[in-house]
Amino acid sequence: MVENRRMSSERAESLGLQFHALTPDRWPHLENLFGKRGACGGCWCMWWRLTRSEFNKNKGEGNRKSLKKIVDSGIVPGIIAYHDSQPVAWCALGRRETYPALERSRTLKRVDGKEVWSVVLFLHGQTVQTQGCNKKSAQSRGGFCTAAQRQNHRGISHRTEKGKAA
């Protein structure tokens, strides 16, 4: 598995991509990437962390503050991808238990009793879409989970009203 991480690092480097955990000092980079709308309608990556009523009540600034509080606590809620030192993509991941809405889901039930890390969002700008960033990020996620001794990681997506993956 270590060799796979090295290979994905080499591939990411060949694309000029670097991946870093979201830490308090990198918070402005996430704000820049998400923009004023918090990536999508004030979500700020809180959809899976809250009940629907909490999410709707906090939409926008409240969700931004909630995610900032998580980051400031020392928890790493995801990875930022950089190209030429600019943030170009975001991948939210964590232990399944950190996503209560995922735990409550009837359609996304646990497969087994193993500890699982879930990838609940992958967001990237249009400029990196054609450069293989999705595949490289998936490889980086696997390396991140392996480095953290988490062998099981699963991606989750949901559809917006227009049927596009969110």
* First-last CA distance in the chain: 30
Burial class (CB in 10 A: 0-12, 13-18, 19+), 164: exposed
- Amino acid letter for position 12: A
Residue 14 has pLDDT above 70, yes or no: no
Q: Which fold has domain 2-155?
A: Aminopeptidase (3.40.630)
Q: Does the pTM of the predicted model rise above 0.85?
A: no
Quote the pLDDT of residue 164. 45
Q: What is the pLDDT of residue 11?
A: 65
Taking residues 117-146, what's their average pLDDT? 59
pLDDT at 158: 44
Pick the residue with more confidence: 137 or 14?
14
Spatial separation of the C-alpha atoms in residues 108 and 100, rounded to whole Å: 12
pLDDT band per the 50, 70, 90 thresholds, residue 159: very low
Residue 8 confidence (pLDDT):
61
